[in-house]
Structure 1
Amino acid sequence: MDPAPSPSPAETLRRRNRLVGGGAALVVCGMVGLAFASVPLYRLFCQVTGYNGTVQTGAALPVAAGEHRVTVRFAANTQLDLPWRFAAQQPSVTVHVGEQNVAFYEATNRAGVPVTGTALYNVTPEVVGRYFHKTACFCFQEQTLAPGQQVQMPVAFWVDPAIADDPNTRDIRTITLSYTFFRSLDDAARSGALASAGPHVGAAPAR
């Protein structure tokens, strides 16, 4: 019986590429599972990216991207008695208006016990608030982190091209998106921050 013919170099390369691709996919899946081990954040990740067939939520969908560009800065704060380290993973991004974008914040619980926090946000200058749209974010939802747990928190957003047509906003080139974590919405209300926070739009629905 004749021995099976040896695979050609091209076939060997294709097999190797399939193995490498499969391994990379497993690594990516593992990283996603670890980064979003917190159930609410995993659901949010699915909403932001469409992963696992999850429908994205929000008040509106971005229109066609325009030539006008703005820089979006990301700020992060925490209530004094909340033992978390909370920061934006990128200080800023420059985006085209009408273009969907995703940015990430990161939170770490520095306490030796589980700690729950709730975030509020605001957008400045206030006059651009009507043109800044979040299609998904982690605000207004309780997030509980285990001792030492670190998580990534995504926010999806776009800037309405109409910002370039409004005489009050067309010269604005920088927008700041700020998130502040409190222990609870009651704490935020007592501090006065809840009254000046952005509207509860684009937050992932509680389940």
Structure 2
Amino acid sequence: MTEERLTRRLVVRLLALAVAMFCFGVFVLPPFYDAMCQAFGINGKTASAYEGSQTVNEKREVRVQFLATNAADMVWEFRAQADELEVHPGASNEMVFVAYNPTDQPMTAQAVPSVSPSRAAAYFHKTECFCFTQQVLQPGERIKMPVRFIVDRDLPADVRHLTLAYTLFDITASKPPVAQATLTRAAP
């Protein structure tokens, strides 16, 4: 075989490999990841946007615990105002998380939620959450960030405790914040 033909053959094989890797990443990996998370009870994803209204089950209480952690490179102070709440399924609830940027630079952060046990995550409906948007804090700024949620009345009866955990990631490098001075507008 000629060198040109060998080169062409190598390029075709490399392109086929690239297409196969793309297909694996798009079509195979996400369901595999979801199955692994469900099997090991990690990274419980909450139910999608909740549109319904439910009657409140006053006879049942569910304890919801709140955890706030920082990713390895995040320097903000981040915590929930309370460690837990006792809630009635079907009732609207709120917990406030507090974030503080102790640095001398503006920073952008993104919170990633997780609910455990993972089988109960589909029954946890966030109606408003700071995790839906990126948070920008100026140097020394402290903000209160509410999360409003409903624990579904159809939560399995044996589930009496849920944990809503947030991990806060520094995404300043990929989404640089706008400094506060540039936000002021000139008077007309």
Question: For residue 104 of structure 1, what is the aligned residue in structure 2?
Answer: 96
In the alignment, what sits opposite 2:110? 118
TM-score, structure 1 normalization: 0.57
Q: For residue 186 of structure 1, report the CA deviation from its aligned partner.
A: 9.6
Q: Percent identity?
A: 37
Inter-partner Cα distance in structure 2 for 1:76 and 1:108: 13
1:65 corresponds to which of 32, 56, 65: 56
Select 2:71's aligned residue among 59, 65, 79: 79
| Deviation >4 Å, runs of 4+ | none
TM score, norm. by length of structure 2: 0.63
Please tell me whether the aligned partners of residues 60 and 133 of structure 1 are also in contact (alpha carbons under 8 angstroms): no
Match of 1:134 among 94, 112, 126: 126
Matched residues in 1 for 2:172 and 2:69: separation?
15
Aligned to 2:157: 170
Q: Which runs of 5+ in 2 are unaligned?
A: 1-48, 175-188
Aligned residues: 126
SS in 2 for 1:61: coil
Which residue number corresponds to residue 152 of structure 1?
Answer: 144
Would you say the 8 A contact 2:111–2:166 is kept in 1?
yes
Deviation of 1:154 (Å): 0.1
Conservation of the 8 A alpha-carbon contact between 2:107 and 2:172: no
Which residue does the alignment assign to 1:88? 80
Q: Which runs of 5+ in 1 are unaligned?
A: 1-57, 164-168, 188-207
How far the C-alpha of 1:60 sits from its partner, in A, is: 2.0
Q: Output the CA distance in 1 between the equivalents of 2:55 and 2:173.
A: 40
Give the alignment's Cα RMSD to 1 decimal: 2.0
Q: 1:62·1:99 contact (CA, 8 Å) conserved in 2?
A: no
Deviation at 1:140, TM superposition (A): 3.9
Name which one, 1 or 2, has greater alpha-carbon Rg.
2
Measured after TM superposition, the shift of residue 79 of structure 1 is: 1.4
Equivalent AA in structure 2 for residue 147 of structure 1: P
Q: 1:186 to 1:140 in 2, by over 3 A?
A: farther
Deviation at 1:181, TM superposition (A): 0.8
CA distance in 2, matches of 1:126, 1:82: 26
Deviation for aligned residue 1:61: 3.1
